[in-house]
Amino acid sequence: MPPAATSYVCTIDAAQAVALQGLMADRGWVFDDMPYARWRGRLGKTTVVAYQSGKLTVQGRETAEFVQFLLEPEILHEARFGYETVLAEVESPEQFGPHAGIDESGKGDYFGPLVVACAYTDEASAKTLLQAGVADSKTIKSDKKIAVLADLIRRECADRFSVVAIGPETYNRMYASFGNLNRLLAWGHARALENLLEKVPDCPRALADQFAANENTVLRALGERGKRLRLEQRPRAEADVAVAAASILARAEFVRRLAQLGDGVGVELPKGASAAVLACAKAIAAKGGRDALAKVAKMHFKTTLEALPPL
């Protein structure tokens, strides 16, 4: 099991929690209390928490050993830890071949940049990333976890990745020039892929989510090097490990830059396009007008019309 596999989460009932605690006590685990938990057990640098909700978490260096030799055979009566890669190899073996994945973050966020990332994976890095929990960034709600996974991806991909960040002011100028979000996205995807190909010129293929009805939108934006490789576009491409890795790299950079922009205007800029976003936009517009808003927001969103006072 790779070093990254140092955590595990599952669900157990009250009777299983009692039985597990007994087995752990026999093996020298030390227990204490914790809010919302039935118990917390510690042994060495590994911690197990049985929550009142039924969730059980295992964290630490001995996670694999604990799960595979105690929790699964004695309590869960099934073996599933560590089989994520085996399942992926059966369901989508092509993702373990050398290829690049492309994805973006910030497209649906009023505040902040648009970020496009491209990541290259091979068999070894794909297996490590899958076992570490790399998945579509939209399924990961914690910014802290996104940052941790992004660090892992940067290490495992060994500089074979690229990130293109388009700040709000540049985004607004480019959107006005392109006149179409899909064309702007295609430009970002093409640049991220071309940048990666500078580092991995023999990359055989690339995969991206299909965001435009016309697949040629991205192809037309590619340079000569990009046009020589096989580019695939399909819905829900984030199920592929390289695309998932790109989505996490893009989200991590989006979150970082959003925080910087917020510091610049003295407020915490909320994500998405919610009522909280509108309230924040109105506050910024009231203080600095359209120019202040354009420094931190994508102005073609309808939120702009609602935020700016009528002329």
The answer on whether 89 is annotated among ligand-binding residues is no
Distance between CA 294 and CA 19 in Å, rounded?
59
Distance between CA 175 and CA 92 in Å, rounded?
36
Which tokens hold the place of 130? 């899958």
Is residue 290 classed exposed, middle or buried when 0-12, 13-18 and 19+ CB atoms within 10 A define those classes?
middle
Distance between CA 212 and CA 186 in Å, rounded?
9
Say if residues 102 and 218 touch (Cβ distance below 8 Å): no
The amino acid present at 77, given as its one-letter code, is H
Is residue 100 classed exposed, middle or buried when 0-12, 13-18 and 19+ CB atoms within 10 A define those classes?
buried
What are the backbone dihedrals phi and psi of residue 288, each rounded to the nearest 5 degrees, phi first?
Answer: -125, 0
Say if residues 214 and 188 touch (Cβ distance below 8 Å): no
Distance between CA 304 and CA 294 in Å, rounded?
9
The answer on whether 209 is annotated among ligand-binding residues is yes
Strands (E), the chain: 7-11, 30-32, 37-43, 46-51, 55-59, 99-105, 114-121, 161-166, 205-209, 230-234
The amino acid present at 107, given as its one-letter code, is K
Q: Apex CA 231: angle with CA 138 and CA 103, to 5°?
A: 20
The answer on whether 103 is annotated among ligand-binding residues is yes
- List residues forming the annotated binding site: 103-104, 209
Please enumerate, by residue number, every residue annotated as part of a binding site for a divalent metal cation. 103-104, 209
